[in-house]
A and B are shown apart, each in its own frame.
Chain A
C-alpha cells in the first residue's frame, strides 16, 4: 500500500503532509504525557517492531505468503497516538532505506497508514470490545479492526491516486502523475483489499492480539480514559469515510464521463488551485525587463538559488552565534 514517488502531484503531497503535521504534534504531546523519559526508546522499539512486522511474510494456504501492514496491531498494542508515531517512524525508514514508499509521498503514506489505519483499527477494536470478556469477542474485534483499517487505508490511497488526473494535467489534458481516474483506482485497489489483504490483515491481527491477551495481557494498551463514547468514534469514522461520499452519486463505474469526474472531485482541486498560484508567486521576479522570457526565467531561478544559499548561510551564522 506504499505509494512510491512520482504518482502524486506536489500539491497532493503537500496537502497531506500538512495534514499530518498537527497529527504528529498531537501524537508526540500525548505520548510525552504518559511516558516522559521512557518515551524515546519506547517509540523507537515500537517502530522497530512495526517495521519488522511489515517485513514478515505471513503464512497463507498453499504455501504462499502475505504481508501485514500492522497499523491496527500497532494501535491496539501501543494505543492510537503512539501507534501513529511508531508507524510513521517505520514508514520513514522504509522509504529512505528500502525505497518502499516514496520520499515526497511520505506525508500521504503516513496519512493513509499511520493515521487512518491506526485510528480506524483502534476505534473499531475498542468499540467492539467494550465491556466484553472472552476470547471470541477479542478475536472478532481484532479481526474487524485489522480488516476495516486496511481497507480504509487502501481506500484513502485509491482516492489520492484517482484524483491525480483531474488535479494535474498537462496542457493537452493528459495526466501528469498517476494516470488513472477514480473509477479505475478505487475498484482496482479496493477489491483486492476487500477480498484478500483485508482478511489476511484481520487474521494476523487477531492471532497476535489473542496471543498477547492470553500470555501477557498487560502488554496491551489500556486507555487512561474509559472506552471512547461511541459518538466520538462515529464522528471519526464519518470523517474518514467522506471520500466514499464522493462515490455515492450512483453512476456505474465504467461510464463516468470526464465532466462528472470534475464535478465530483471539483472541490478538492479548487483548494489546490489556490496553492498553485501561491507557488508561482514565490518565484522572484518572473520576468526581467529587457530579456526574453526563457532567459529571464533562468535568471529568476538563479536569483532564487542565490537567495537560498544566502539564507542558509545567514541562518547558520545566527544559529551558531
Chain B
C-alpha cells in the first residue's frame, strides 16, 4: 500500500495564538439545546437509579404502586371542591415523606405545572371575559387599562384549578421519584395494559438514549469543526440533517434488533415472567386507594 503523503498546506504549525484568554465559543441554540436536553434526560434517570431508599411506596408491589398512583390522580379528577383536593395533596405529601422522597426534588418537578396553572388563572381576574356576568364585579381596580376584579368566586375558581393541578401532578411525581424505571415498566405491565404496549414503551425509552447519543456525538463533532454555528439557514439545514440521520439510524437499528429478537425465539408475541403474587400490604394499599377514589366521586 502506498505511503500517505501530507499536502503542502498541512506542513508546519501556526505558532502560539495571539489572542489572550479563551475564545468564548458563540454557542448556537442547537448545541445548547441538545446538550441541555441530553443532560435533562440523564438527570431524569439518574436519581432514580440511585433512589431505592427504603420507604412505604418502595415496599409495595410495583403494579399496585403504579395502579394506586393512577387511582389517586383519578380521584383528583373527580373531586369538586377545594377542600378534598387539598386533603388529597396532603395525603400525597405524607406518602412522599414516608417513602423518603426529597421534598425539594418533588417541588422542582411539580413547579412547572403549578406555574402554568397560575399563568392560566391570571386572566380570570381581568374583565375581558364577557361570559362571567354573574359576578357583580364592580369592585375592581384599574390596571393598564383593564379592570382587575377580585371576587370570592373568581378566587375560588383560580384556587380550585391550582389545587387540583397540584393534587393531580404530585402523585405522579412521587411515583417517579421513588421508583426505578424497570419497576415502573413492570408495574405498568401488570395493569390492564396490553403487554405489547408496555414492552414497546420500554424499548422506546431505551432507544431514546441511543438516539440522543447519536445526535450528541454528531453535534459535538460539528462544534469541533466550526466556531460560528449561529447562522440560521445553516442551523436549520443541520437540524434537518440530524433528523434525517435519526430516521436512518432508527430504521437500521430496528432491523438489527428485530433480527436479534428473532434469533432468540421471538415470533411476535412476547411471553413474560408471571409476576409475584400480591401480599397483604399490597392489598391494604389497594383497598386504601380505592377508598379514596370512591369517596372522591361524590365529593
Contact = CB atoms under 8 A, between A and B. Distances in A.
A and B touch in the complex (CB under 8 A): yes
Interface of A: 4-7, 9-10, 13, 28, 32, 36-49, 51-53, 55-61, 63-65, 73, 77, 85, 89-90, 92-93, 96-99, 102-104, 165, 170, 172-181, 183-184, 203-204, 207-208, 210-212, 215-216, 219, 254-258, 261, 279-280, 283, 297-298, 300-302, 304-306, 308-309, 312-313, 316, 320
Given A59-B28, A183-B131, A184-B129, A6 B161 contact: yes
B233 to A, nearest CB: 9
14 contacts: A6-B167, A44-B207, A45-B204, A49-B211, A53-B246, A63-B29, A65-B33, A85-B200, A89-B204, A97-B176, A215-B244, A305-B290, A306-B287, A309-B283
Interface in B122-155: 123-124, 128-131, 133-134, 153
Contacts of B201: 89, 92-93
Contacts of A308: 286-287, 290
A40 B258 contact: yes
Contacts of B118: none
Given A102-B168, A103-B70, A211-B241, A59 B131 contact: no
Given A6-B164, A41-B261, A52-B215, A254 B130 contact: yes
Contact of B29 (A47, A57, A98, A312): A57
Nearest to B238: A59
A47 B200 contact: yes
Given A7-B165, A172-B153, 8 more contacts: A44-B200, A44-B207, A55-B41, A59-B30, A64-B29, A165-B131, A179-B121, A305-B287
Contacts of B250: 45-46, 48-49
A208 B258 CA distance: 26
* A-B residue pairs, 7 tightest by C-beta: A305-B290, A44-B203, A301-B294, A48-B207, A41-B257, A5-B168, A207-B240
Contact of B208 (A48, A65, A300): A48
A5 B236 contact: no
B176 A320 contact: no
B97 interface: no
B168 A40 contact: no
Nearest to B85: A6
Residue with the greatest number of chain B CB neighbours at <10 A, chosen from A99, A177, A179, A302: A179
B215 to A, nearest CB: 7
B14 interface: no
Given A28-B196, A215-B244, A99 B290 contact: no
Interface of B: 28-30, 33-34, 37, 41, 44, 70, 73-74, 76-78, 80-81, 109-110, 112-113, 116-117, 120-121, 123-124, 128-131, 133-134, 153, 156-158, 160-161, 164-165, 167-169, 172-173, 176, 184, 196-197, 199-201, 203-208, 210-212, 215, 230, 232, 235-237, 239-244, 246-248, 250-251, 253-255, 257-258, 261-262, 266-268, 270, 274, 277-278, 283, 286-291, 293-295, 297-298
Nearest to A260: B131
Contacts of A36: 268
B44 A97 contact: yes
A146 to B, nearest CB: 13
Contact of B298 (A73, A103, A203, A283): A283
A192 B254 CA distance: 37
Given A10-B78, A47-B204, A55-B37, A309 B169 contact: no
Contact of A48 (B77, B121, B129, B211): B211
B115 to A, nearest CB: 11
Nearest to A55: B37
A251 B122 CA distance: 26
A40 B247 contact: no
A297 B286 contact: no
Given A58-B239, A280-B297, A99 B232 contact: no
A320 B30 contact: no
